Structure 1
């Protein structure tokens, strides 16, 4: 999967949406944020990730930048920082040492992470326009990868930050159109154990089912048509960024 191409595509679509929505439009999926806040956040993350790609693996995280406050200025700054990120991702070997927060310490971490970061915020920007957002915004393969990244990378990231699992039970996540199923064993106070499952009918305490796109959105707390059955508290127990 070409994650760098995904970053470029999703960022372009996001930029178009934020310009359409306008700087002061509310972002319904990010309560308290305006489009300006959304753009400043995404631009800063792209700038920060560009530094991380070339940071020594044993170094601490790069300093998080402070983007401009003016809407036009931050759009221009984002254009520049995004270009730097894309160039570094394309020129840096996947096996090159780099600072990461998942323990891999390889530059290959960043294309995937930024592809999903940008895609979710592209969805936020689309929602801010006030227009209907297509039910299938992301293709099944990419969305399924986003589900996997959320469960195996982003949930552990929140545990690193001091969040804890507040439920115990087995959650099955089934994306039928992608042909993928995950079994998530939750134990209160412990890291979740995530494994591929080959049977969507596996005994579970809760099931999250739907298209990969819908599940991807649901896990990130965005509007979704995914269906939750069983103990819904298990899904709520997954800490979100």
Structure 2
């Protein structure tokens, strides 16, 4: 999967939707944000990731950047920082040591993380612009990878930051169109244990099912047609970014 190409595509679509929406438009999935806040956030994340790729693991957490306050300036700054990010991802060997927040500490790790970061915020920009977002917005293989990344990278990241799993039970996540199923074992106050399984009919306390696109959106708290059956509190027990 070409994650770098995905970053470039999703960022372009996000930028177009943000400009169409206008800086003062509300971002429905993030009620505290306007489109200006969304653009500044995404620009800062891309800049920060580009710094991380060039930062040795032992150097520690890169400094968080400060994008411009004005919309047009923020867009221009984002264009520049995105260009740096894409260049570094393409020019840096994937296995070169670099700082990451999960201990993987390889430069190529950032391509996947930024592809999904940008895709979710592209969806936010589309919603802010009032677009009639299609049910299948993301390719099933890409969305399924995003499900896996959410469960195995982003939830642990939230636990690392002091958040807690607030329930106990087995959650089955079944993306039928991608042919992938995950079993997530939740224990209150403990790390999440995620296993790829091949039987979508195994016993569980709750099931999250639908297309990979729908599940991807639902896990990130975006509008979705995914279906939850059983103990719905287990889905809410997963800490979201």
- TM-score range relative to shorter protein: over 0.9
Equivalences for 1:53-72 in 2 at 5 Å? 53-72=53-72
DSSP-derived class of the 1:20 partner: helix
Distance 1:108 1:201 in 2: 35
Dislocated runs of 4+, deviation >2 Å = none
Distance 1:133 1:213 in 2: 12
Name 1:228's counterpart in structure 2.
228
Equivalences for 1:43-192 in 2 at 5 Å? 43-192=43-192
Q: Could you report, residue by residue, the CA deviation over 1:67-101 in whole angstroms, capped at 9, with x for unpaired residues?
A: 00110000000000000000000000010000001
Distance 2:178 2:148 in 1: 12
Distance 1:23 1:166 in 2: 36
TM-score, normalised to structure 1's length?
0.99
Equivalences for 1:12-23 in 2 at 5 Å? 12-23=12-23
Distance 1:98 1:90 in 2: 14
Q: Please, which runs of 5 or more residues in structure 1 have no aligned partner?
A: none
Q: What's the CA shift for 1:103?
A: 1.0
Distance 1:95 1:51 in 2: 16
**RMSD in angstroms over aligned alpha carbons?**
0.5
Q: Could you report, residue by residue, the CA deviation over 1:198-238 in whole angstroms, capped at 9, with x for unpaired residues?
A: 10011000000000000000000000000000000000000
Distance 1:12 1:131 in 2: 16
Q: What's the CA shift for 1:131?
A: 2.2
Q: What's the CA shift for 1:31?
A: 1.0
Distance 2:47 2:67 in 1: 9
Name 1:216's counterpart in structure 2.
216
TM-score, normalised to structure 2's length?
0.99
Q: Please, which runs of 5 or more residues in structure 2 have no aligned partner?
A: none
